[in-house]
Amino acid sequence: MQIHTVKTTPIEGQKPGTSGLRKKTAVFMGPHYLENFIQSVITGTGGAQGKTYVLGGDGRYFNDRAAQVILRMLAAQGAMKVIVGQNALLSTPAASHLIRKRGADGGFIMSASHNPGGPNEDFGVKFNGPNGGPAPEGMTAKMYEETTRITEYKILDAQDVDFSGVGTQKLGELEVEVVDPVADYAAMMEDLFDFDKIRALLAGGFTMRFDAMHAVTGPYAKAIFEGALGAPEGSVINAVPSPDFGGGHPDPNPIWAKPLMDEMFGPDAPDFGAASDGDGDRNMIVGRGAYVTPSDSLAVLAANATLAPAYKGGLAGVARSMPTSGATDRVAEALGIECHETPTGWKFFGNLLDAGRATLCGEESAGTGSDHVREKDGVWAVLFWLNILAETGQSVGALLEAHWRKFGRNYYSRHDYEAVDSAAANTLVEELRAKLDDLPGQSFAGLTVEGADEFAYTDPTDGSVSEGQGIRIMLEGGRRIVLRLSGTGTDGATLRVYLERLETRPDHLDHDPQEALADVIAAADAIAGITRHTGRDAPDVRT
């Protein structure tokens, strides 16, 4: 088979964001676009010669064709072996697990996570390193540099590989092993959690609904919840991955998983509801009439971790992204363990997990995970909750209330302003940055600012510094506002405003979060001039 060396020129804008490179599908399908990026990843990580990779994706439109291109490029550059999920499917956490289990040199995950898919929607590729985690900033910087100076790429002239059945085949010199995407992952879950206990819970009439949102977790959830754990058929819904996620937006939050929310707050609600996103790393947990914010979920899991076999020896530490609420911090304090605050992006947890400084990690953006892989993990989070519910015999709502009574409640909400004009969004941030030092002592919407800064992170394991990671404004009474621009959007800028207030009075724990945060919301607009800059008088999304 012939190897082609194709002349190309740099394409602008191939800088990996919060989680890999994400663009409109049509952009990715444009001439040389995918090839330039893949070549830059390969070159930026020291070449593919003799290496072993994992390859899979969330099944979105272009997933299968992109996989063929990546394989042909790896074959052309002397890679030894690629382990591919059947039908080119692999959830992000399952890919992370496979990289670790097989000792691979890295993996390519084709996904734009929770963004919609289809010819007019989004596509993405991210590269994970040998620890199974997203490439750290130093590595993505090298890839980006390559994209700016690329002159050619190498690709093998070959027919498509058949991904439809498991087994090993050859593509030129490259060994291609197609594997069942679920089996290894499911086996790991069985090691981590008490499946007998969960099985007994479900056999005893406890009902659950898992919404796979037409995305990659469908086959995983079917095999684990309905197969191994015996939940009745139909407990998992929207379980067949579809290239456009059934026309939906595969993001597990109260807005995009509204049918599930309606069911959970309706008259015939099951005991437990959950959903996961496009590539299976996000999760939403909801009890009968009780929604659990991602920040609270991390705190509850940390507080009850020893109830699950994998964590019965206790936690080494916990980590949360900076915009995530402080609920977990107080659990860590009570447990006497380390608590780390990192920038947004799972990649920042990798070093802490590798160094054994954190066992559980979580983000307000519906991500929770542990040291079992180096990605956040949706199905894992659901199993963790089920294991805790099975051990305590409590409902989600009761567990949550008990948690708040013990630790206080961090009322929390994120307001997103989407597809904002990029220049306007940047001006907002620049103006705010310029006045940060003057804010302390001033009052806005009746609240006095106690502190304000722009978050910078020094990784305690390697000393690397990440600056400009979001603006924090601390207000009286345990209130906090965080503003930052999303690093995952593909359309203009997305302004995220994170709002939080700690409440410890036992008779004030059951308010509506938007009402409980009304003064913080007003202060955010007064300080940052959100309406003035964006022309919007309300956010597009409130989580």
Applying CB under 6 A, the residues found at the interface with ligand G6P are: 18-19, 113, 321, 344-346, 363, 365, 367, 486-488, 496
| C-beta closer to ligand G6P: residue 309 or 487 | 487
Out of 279, 296, 363, 377, the only residue in the binding site for Zn ion (CB under 5 A) is 279
| C-beta closer to Zn ion: residue 277 or 459 | 277
Name the one range near Zn ion by CB under 5 A: 108-116, 431-439, 471-479, 517-525.
108-116
Catalytic residue among 91, 113, 276, 321: 113
Q: Letter for the amino acid at 392? A: T
Cβ neighbours for 292, distance < 8 A, ≥ 6 positions apart: 285, 286, 300, 396, 400
* C-alpha–C-alpha distance, residues 92 and 372, integer Å: 13
Q: Which does 496 bind (CB under 5 to 8 A by kind): ligand G6P, Zn ion, none?
A: ligand G6P
- Smallest gap, in angstroms, from Cβ of residue 363 to ligand G6P? 4
- Smallest gap, in angstroms, from Cβ of residue 367 to Zn ion? 8
- Give the torsion sign (CA, 265, 267, 273, 277): negative
Q: Which does 18 bind (CB under 5 to 8 A by kind): ligand G6P, Zn ion, none?
A: ligand G6P
| C-beta closer to ligand G6P: residue 40 or 365 | 365
Strand partners, 444: 447
| C-beta closer to ligand G6P: residue 18 or 39 | 18
Structure tokens at 368: 């929770």
Burial per residue of 173-201, b for 16 or more beta-carbon CB atoms within 10 angstroms, e otherwise: ebbbebbebbeebbebbeebbbbebbbeb
- Smallest gap, in angstroms, from Cβ of residue 72 to ligand G6P? 28
Q: What is the dihedral of CA 273, 278, 282, 283, to 10 degrees?
A: 0
Q: Which does 413 bind (CB under 5 to 8 A by kind): ligand G6P, Zn ion, none?
A: none
Q: Which does 365 bind (CB under 5 to 8 A by kind): Zn ion, ligand G6P, none?
A: ligand G6P
Q: Which does 293 bind (CB under 5 to 8 A by kind): Zn ion, ligand G6P, none?
A: none
- Smallest gap, in angstroms, from Cβ of residue 168 to ligand G6P? 32
| C-beta closer to ligand G6P: residue 112 or 156 | 112
Q: Which does 384 bind (CB under 5 to 8 A by kind): ligand G6P, Zn ion, none?
A: none
Containing 218, the helix (H) or strand (E) segment is helix 217-221
* C-alpha–C-alpha distance, residues 110 and 127, integer Å: 9
Counting contacts by CB under 5 A, is residue 40 touching Zn ion? no
- Smallest gap, in angstroms, from Cβ of residue 454 to ligand G6P? 16
Residue 466, SS3 per DSSP: strand
Name the one range near Zn ion by CB under 5 A: 147-155, 271-279, 429-437, 495-503.
271-279
| C-beta closer to ligand G6P: residue 18 or 304 | 18
Query: 321 catalytic, yes or no?
Result: no
The DSSP symbol for 359 reads S
* C-alpha–C-alpha distance, residues 32 and 121, integer Å: 19
Sole residue written with tokens 């000792």: 103
| C-beta closer to ligand G6P: residue 286 or 361 | 361
Out of 113, 295, 328, 387, the only residue in the binding site for Zn ion (CB under 5 A) is 113
- Smallest gap, in angstroms, from Cβ of residue 110 to Zn ion? 12
> From residue 437, how far is each of 56, 232, 471, 484 by CA, in Å?
47, 58, 12, 18
> From residue 419, how far is each of 27, 296, 493 by CA, in Å?
18, 28, 5
> Contact, 324 vs 294, CB < 8 A?
yes
Counting contacts by CB under 5 A, is residue 36 touching Zn ion? no
Structure tokens at 429: 């941030």
Cβ neighbours for 69, distance < 8 A, ≥ 6 positions apart: 34, 35, 38, 155
Out of 121, 271, 281, 500, the only residue in the binding site for Zn ion (CB under 5 A) is 281
Q: Which does 251 bind (CB under 5 to 8 A by kind): ligand G6P, Zn ion, none?
A: none
Give the burial class of 203: count Cβ atoms within 10 A of its Cβ; 0-12 exposed, 13-18 middle, 19 or more buried: exposed
Counting contacts by CB under 5 A, is residue 122 touching Zn ion? no
- Smallest gap, in angstroms, from Cβ of residue 314 to Zn ion? 29
Q: Which does 279 bind (CB under 5 to 8 A by kind): ligand G6P, Zn ion, none?
A: Zn ion
| Of 483, 466, 470, the residue nearest 526 (C-alpha) | 483
* C-alpha–C-alpha distance, residues 381 and 257, integer Å: 17
| C-beta closer to Zn ion: residue 213 or 420 | 213
Write the DSSP assignment of 278-310 as a string of letters.
TTS-BEEEEETTEEE-HHHHHHHHHHHGGGSGG
**Which phi and psi (to 5°) does residue 439 adopt?**
-70, -40
Catalytic residues: 113
Residues in contact with Zn ion by CB under 5 A are 113, 277, 279, 281-282
